[in-house]
Amino acid sequence: MTKVGIPRALLYYQFYPMWRTFFSHLGADVVVSAPTTKSVITTGSSRVVSETCLPVKVFCGHVRSLVGQCDYVFIPSVCSLEKGSHNCSKFMGLPDVIKAVVPNCPPILDPDIDLAKGKRGFYLALYHLSRPFTWNPLKVKAASEAAWQSHLTYRDLMHNQGLVPLQALAQMGLEPEPDFHEPGPATMTIAVIGHPYVLFDEYINHKLIRRLQGMGVRVVTAEMAGEEDLALSLKKLAGRAYWTFEDEIVGAGGHYLERNVDGIISVVAFGCGPDSLMIDLLQRQARKVPTKAYMSLTIDEHTAEAGLVTRLEAYVDMIRRRKNSV
Ligand code: SF4
């Protein structure tokens, strides 16, 4: 059976169930790279210039780990997912970057996804993507429909059942059950916002969500808010979306500033151009709401676990004292 490798990085956390279902329905065997480790980051970092954002370095390391494990690697060039906003340029150039920096990389399945140009181009891209597996358009159509259904189920688990991606993937039988827990009744609620590939890769963020839960915090993320609410908040703060996925940070930040949460932590990847601009908008807005404690964390491959834990403990302690003094 033809093996298709999917790197466990970047858009994995948003679209893995969809992609997996699509390739499985075409008769492929899907292989996912193992969770991030120090060696994955070191390998990825050694392939690109140091200014590259951390998630792209991690992605390079995951692709490298798939060499020899599969017949193809799936790396779409995602230009836009909706009219009016575009993806960060790193996503668009990802297949070319990987061809240049990962020697012996298996052939790359690299469809151009640009939904701003309409759905016809997207369907054509899917047919081309399916060529190594089938030339039967009916089979491609059936695979696409099953993939979309799988994506809807995944989104529903997060929006309506309040699960984070790792829990939703586990519910769908695609990941082992993460041992996230809320020890006893939570004493405060904190919104943690950032790109899913930073928030849910536990190696690069030093188990941030799990640690907060261990401190008695109920954690909420962008995935638990409705898409319309995020879009509305993004519009209020930024006017319109310039980059796809910025609703995860600015939209979610604006949304939770107006909700019953005690604080907001934004987690930004070092070297991320879009975030550095958009997070400033959010910080300015957060200053106008002094009742919500706001903290920004920047993560890179050198972020020390002890330093991060100290900051989290101090932050949670500050909120606890503030609540107790009211
Ligand atoms: S949005 Fe930021 S973190 Fe994500 S790939 Fe682009 S530069 Fe990197």
Q: Are residues 195 and 150 in the same domain?
A: no
pLDDT of residue 310: 94
269 lines ligand 1 (CB under 6 A): yes
| Predicted confidence (pLDDT) at residue 146 exceeds the cutoff of 60 | yes
Other C-beta atoms closer than 10 Å to the C-beta of 38 total 10
Q: Are 69 and 31 in contact (CB under 8 A)?
A: yes
248 lines ligand 1 (CB under 6 A): no
What are 148-206's pLDDT values in tens digits? Answer: 999 999 999 988 887 888 889 999 999 887 776 655 678 899 999 999 999 999 999 99
Residue 255 CA to residue 259 CA, distance in Å, equals 7
Distance from the CA of 55 to the center of ligand 1, in angstroms? Answer: 7
| Predicted confidence (pLDDT) at residue 143 exceeds the cutoff of 60 | yes
273 lines ligand 1 (CB under 6 A): yes
Q: Are residues 114 and 190 in the same domain?
A: no
Atom 5 of ligand 1, residue of closest alpha carbon: 90
Which residues face 73 on adjacent strands? 5, 108
Q: Are residues 212 and 146 in the same domain?
A: no
Q: Which one of 12, 80, 89, 90 would you pick to mutate in the ligand 1 pocket, going by the greatest count of ligand atoms within 8 A of its CB?
A: 90
The SS3 call for residue 220 is strand
pLDDT of residue 138: 95
Which residues face 297 on adjacent strands? 267
| Predicted confidence (pLDDT) at residue 272 exceeds the cutoff of 90 | no
Q: Are residues 36 and 133 in the same domain?
A: yes
Find where tokens 């101090």 sit: 314
**Boundary-marking domain end, from 159, 187, 211:** 159
Q: Report yes or no on 174 lying in a domain.
A: no
Domain that holds residue 318: 179-325
Q: What phi and psi values does residue 141 have, to the nearest 5 degrees?
A: -65, -45
Residue 242 CA to residue 231 CA, distance in Å, equals 12
Distance from the CA of 140 to the center of ligand 1, in angstroms? Answer: 31
Residue 293 CA to residue 263 CA, distance in Å, equals 4
What are 81-140's pLDDT values in tens digits? Answer: 877 777 888 888 999 999 999 989 999 999 998 888 888 888 899 999 999 999 999 999
Task: Work out the average pLDDT over 47-70.
Answer: 94
Atom 7 of ligand 1, residue of closest alpha carbon: 272
Q: Are residues 289 and 193 in the same domain?
A: yes
* Sign of the dihedral through C-alpha 141, 96, 48, 104: positive
- Average pLDDT, rounded, for the chain: 89
The pTM assigned to this predicted structure is 0.91
274 lines ligand 1 (CB under 6 A): yes
pLDDT band of 244, cuts 50, 70, 90: confident
Find where tokens 């070297």 sit: 271
Q: Are 36 and 12 in contact (CB under 8 A)?
A: no
Q: Are residues 97 and 38 in the same domain?
A: yes
86 lines ligand 1 (CB under 6 A): no
| Predicted confidence (pLDDT) at residue 307 exceeds the cutoff of 60 | yes
Residue 106 CA to residue 91 CA, distance in Å, equals 19
Q: Are residues 154 and 185 in the same domain?
A: no
What is the chain's alpha carbon radius of gyration, rounded to the nearest angstrom? 20
| Predicted confidence (pLDDT) at residue 246 exceeds the cutoff of 80 | no
What are 20-44's pLDDT values in tens digits? Answer: 999 999 999 999 999 999 999 999 9
194 lines ligand 1 (CB under 6 A): no
Q: What Å distances lie between residue 137 and 74, 116, 128, 131, 140, CA to CA?
A: 20, 24, 10, 10, 5
Q: Report yes or no on 166 lying in a domain.
A: no
Q: How far is CA 20 from the centre of its chain?
A: 16
For the chain, the residue count is: 326
111 lines ligand 1 (CB under 6 A): no
Distance from the CA of 211 to the center of ligand 1, in angstroms? Answer: 24
Residue 157 CA to residue 166 CA, distance in Å, equals 11
| Predicted confidence (pLDDT) at residue 50 exceeds the cutoff of 80 | yes
Q: Report yes or no on 172 lying in a domain.
A: no
Q: Which of 1-10, 124-133, 175-184, 292-301 has the lowest mean pLDDT?
A: 175-184
CATH code, 241: 3.40.50.11900
Residue 24 tokens read as 């499985």
Closest CA to 7 of 91, 95, 56, 73: 73
CATH code, 113: 3.40.50
Q: Are residues 10 and 118 in the same domain?
A: yes
278 lines ligand 1 (CB under 6 A): no
7 lines ligand 1 (CB under 6 A): no
21, 25, 26, 28: CA torsion to nearest 10: 70
Q: How many domains does the chain have?
A: 2
